[in-house]
Structure 1
Amino acid sequence: MIIGLEHYKEKWSIQTDTAIHPGLEAITAALEEVGNPHKGGKFIHLAGTNGKGSTATFLSSILQAHGYSVGNFYSPCIEDLHDQIQLNSNPISPQELEPIMQQLSHVKTPLTDFELLTIAALLVFRKHAPDFAIIEAGMGGALDSTNVIIPEIAIIPSISIDHINFLGNSIEEITWHKAGIIKKWQPVVIGELPEKSLAIIRKTANDLHAEVIRPKAFKDLSLKLKGPHQLGNASLAMEAAKELLRKDFSEEKAINALSSANIAYRFEEVFPGVIFDGAHNQASAEALVKTVREVYPGRSIHVVMGILKDKDYINVLRELETISDHFTFIEFDYEKALPAEKLLLECGIKRKTILKYNDILPVCEKDEVTLVTGSLYLLSLLRNAKYSFFRLYQE
């Protein structure tokens, strides 16, 4: 059974603020109420448009392979609320989260849902005291609720246009937000960034006396996570681990950990011929298209898609139209979901239709690969066995 945040809010009468107010004032005040759990432990902070989840998973695997315990705070969830907060790659249980939410019900400072979850994760990590806690920013960086921590190292895998309603329309504005996770004297590992972003990151780091580390991507490493961009994410994790572990670092252990690491919805074959990938902006769509061409050259692709209103869905569509002439747009129950009708109208492909998320997907044509993409919220819905969408594949 999927248990969401609403379950805990209703049970413990927790009221949250539905409006997003970027800034750290509210969460700082609330953290004070619960004993400042962010002021202790060794943190790694990730911000960036794409690659955060994969890089965090790679780094967690490397650290665990070296015998260290690791906490992870991911954003957003994959299956349900509990997999956002993990200990040694295992989602926390409802029994673990229950007393934390009960404690948070006494907090007087008004919080958003994400601020509430951020504090819950920090309380879990204070209780279990993992050797390292890897924290993924929810949106942006500078004004994100996770930016209360002082990390041992910051990681920025990529920067592109995303969350334009909150972060701005220009790459410079968005980069300012991402650069906000860089802290004084603490190194930052960065991926391949646009030149304008790189200039801002370098200036920010220089002003804070923070070393900028740019690793070289692997060329021949075998990974479960497919796509050339994952080699770049793996190299970021490797470089961060070297910096964190110093003399304790073993390249052999790190390579073995990278080779076995996996994460849901990163070009994941859920059923034979059915791929789930949470591409939801132009950069991630470009990476997905490259991976499809690499893994399925010459195959017909059926794109099944649903996405959120604040995403760059036009450019995502344009990218996906380069590999497919068959689209199905999914109408799903989520307040931030873009109406499927809007996607249908914007799509330039003639062969297109709309389905509800709990309809049965028509049988694929022979040799056709089904690519399910867009919102992670949608992917979670479709993967849940109680929905009929993929019964045909399971029978």
Structure 2
Amino acid sequence: MINGLNFYKNKWNIQTDASIKPGLQAITAALAELNNPHQNISFIHIAGTNGKGSTGAFLSAILHKHGLTVGNFFSPGIEDLHDQIQVDGKAITEEDMDQAMARLAEIKTPLTDFELLTAAAFLIFEQKQPDIAIIEAGMGGRFDSTNVINPILSIITSISYEHTAFLGDTLENIAWHKAGIIKKWKPIIIGNLPEAAERVIREEADALHAELIRPQKQINTELKLKGRHQKENAGLALEAAKEILLLKFNHNLAETALASAFIPFRFEEIYPNLIMDGAHNEASVSALVETIKEVYPDKQIHIVMALMKDKAYANILRQLETISDQFTFIEFDNERALPAKILFTENRSKIKTIITNCDILPVSNEEVVTIVTGSLYLLSALRNNHFSMFQNYQAPAE
């Protein structure tokens, strides 16, 4: 579900399929009808199980600090589809989307929802002409609709189990999908990958004569985005910036940019002792658990969560149960959401409850830290509908 897309589909009488249909045939045909707007832009392509958004935010900040205009296509959105497409950190306007949809309403090729949004992003970037556009793959890479681009370099942030119904149930299969964003003679920067996955990536890079680059050392810059994994994401962005900027790269500017970079729902303190984090699979939950231990070693933790149906909920709960024995499960309005009762039944904690439709979000006292997590769709719904009283809160400077 792409929040806000139905408004434009109804307005412009555009029919799409809401299901997931991996493959490039439809998007390629649609873009040909639009005179291939994606061929007039310099792209960076990012795939990975986790870390895409943060790496993109870090890289955007560095490039912008060096005087470049930067477009971003994120997935999913924070509030709605407008913030999925940004230029220099600003979400596109309704007018921008209307201009794109007016052209998309004229094409004949049937598209899925995500293909429609991808095509709209390319049209908007063609019109605004940023110096660089950073594109996140929606799912996998090889058959994701974003993979029609020919980027100047690609980044694979991480690989772990995800979307196994589409990507396969082994790390090698998942890595093969991610490796699809590697392009001939173009650099590929990789994060710390499992050995089996990295072997697949290296084989693809060798076959395409693509230089494979891995950051050599940990960055020491203090970041707003918390956790060891964010240091790794920042390192990927720093390496990419060096490749893009070459002799124009300035390390001091880069460090300043990294220190100021921010993306919502990455261990975001929206009010004292109330944290929102978009961890939604086993790998990202593992990173969340480590960050909680690092930042709140002596605090009682209260987990508020919901998950999508395709997540390994039992394994996710086992990880979270290592740092908390108090859980609140939210039954919220999303067709892909896992029923809260399933999480409640599977959970082994002593204190647990279910709330419906986010009507009441328990915010604990100062002795307890509340972590809201499990689904970016949940966090977006809460921010839009239930956190208006926190809008002006600014977390204290470090």
Q: Shorter-chain TM-score: what band?
A: over 0.9
Residue 325 (structure 1) aligns with: 325
Does the CA contact (< 8 Å) of 2:274 and 2:363 recur in 1?
Answer: no
Does the CA contact (< 8 Å) of 1:280 and 1:313 recur in 2?
Answer: no
State the distance in 2 between where 1:3 and 1:167 align.
25
Is 1:181 matched with 2:185?
no
Question: Residues 41-190 of structure 1: matches in 2 within 5 Å?
Answer: 41-190=41-190
1:21 CA displacement:
1.8
1:26 CA displacement:
0.4
Gaps of 5+ in 1: none
State the distance in 2 between where 1:389 and 1:351 align.
28
State the distance in 1 between where 2:148 and 2:192 align.
26
State the distance in 2 between where 1:284 and 1:240 align.
22
Between 6-15 and 143-152, the greater mean CA deviation after superposition = 6-15
Between 341-350 and 24-33, the greater mean CA deviation after superposition = 341-350
TM-score, normalised with respect to structure 1: 0.96
Residue 7 (structure 1) aligns with: 7
State the distance in 1 between where 2:207 and 2:27 align.
26
State the distance in 2 between where 1:179 and 1:314 align.
29
State the distance in 1 between where 2:354 and 2:171 align.
33
Does the CA contact (< 8 Å) of 1:73 and 1:84 recur in 2?
Answer: yes
Is 1:253 matched with 2:253?
yes
1:39 CA displacement:
1.0
1:346 CA displacement:
1.3
Consecutive aligned runs of 4 or more in structure 1 exceeding 6 Å deviation: 388-391
CA 1:128–1:207: 2 relative to 1, 3 Å: same
Does the CA contact (< 8 Å) of 1:361 and 1:390 recur in 2?
Answer: no
State the distance in 1 between where 2:355 and 2:243 align.
48
Question: Residues 330-349 of structure 1: matches in 2 within 5 Å?
Answer: 330-349=330-349
1:222 CA displacement:
0.2
Query: Structure 1: which amino acid aligns with 2:237?
Result: A
How many residues align? The count is 391
Query: Structure 2: which amino acid aligns with 1:269?
Result: E
Is 1:193 matched with 2:178?
no
1:362 CA displacement:
3.5
1:219 CA displacement:
4.7
Query: Structure 1: which amino acid aligns with 2:330?
Result: I
Residue 375 (structure 1) aligns with: 375
State the distance in 1 between where 2:278 and 2:241 align.
26
State the distance in 2 between where 1:85 and 1:6 align.
16
What per-residue deviation string (whole Å, max 9, x for no partner) do you get for residues 126-157 of structure 1? 00111000000000000000000001000001
Does the CA contact (< 8 Å) of 1:358 and 1:388 recur in 2?
Answer: no
State the distance in 2 between where 1:21 and 1:40 align.
26
Query: Structure 1: which amino acid aligns with 2:275?
Result: I
Does the CA contact (< 8 Å) of 1:360 and 1:388 recur in 2?
Answer: no
Pairwise CA RMSD: 1.6
1:80 CA displacement:
1.1
1:18 CA displacement:
2.7
Residue 352 (structure 1) aligns with: 352
Query: Structure 1: which amino acid aligns with 2:218?
Result: F
CA 1:75–1:217: 2 relative to 1, 3 Å: farther
Query: Structure 1: which amino acid aligns with 2:159?
Result: I
CA 1:132–1:389: 2 relative to 1, 3 Å: closer
Does the CA contact (< 8 Å) of 1:72 and 1:135 recur in 2?
Answer: yes
Q: 2:275 is paired with a residue of what secondary structure?
A: strand
Query: Structure 1: which amino acid aligns with 2:89?
Result: S
Residue 227 (structure 2) aligns with: 227
CA 1:235–1:363: 2 relative to 1, 3 Å: closer
Residue 237 (structure 2) aligns with: 237
CA 1:308–1:390: 2 relative to 1, 3 Å: farther
CA 1:242–1:339: 2 relative to 1, 3 Å: same
CA 1:57–1:362: 2 relative to 1, 3 Å: closer
Does the CA contact (< 8 Å) of 1:187 and 1:212 recur in 2?
Answer: yes
Q: 1:39 is paired with a residue of what secondary structure?
A: helix
Between 355-364 and 284-293, the greater mean CA deviation after superposition = 355-364
State the distance in 2 between where 1:366 and 1:88 align.
37
Does the CA contact (< 8 Å) of 2:215 and 2:236 recur in 1?
Answer: yes
1:38 CA displacement:
1.2
1:29 CA displacement:
0.4
State the distance in 2 between where 1:323 and 1:217 align.
30
TM-score, normalised with respect to structure 2: 0.95
What per-residue deviation string (whole Å, max 9, x for no partner) do you get for residues 140-187 of structure 1? 000000000001000001000011121111111100000000000000
Query: Structure 2: which amino acid aligns with 1:297?
Result: P
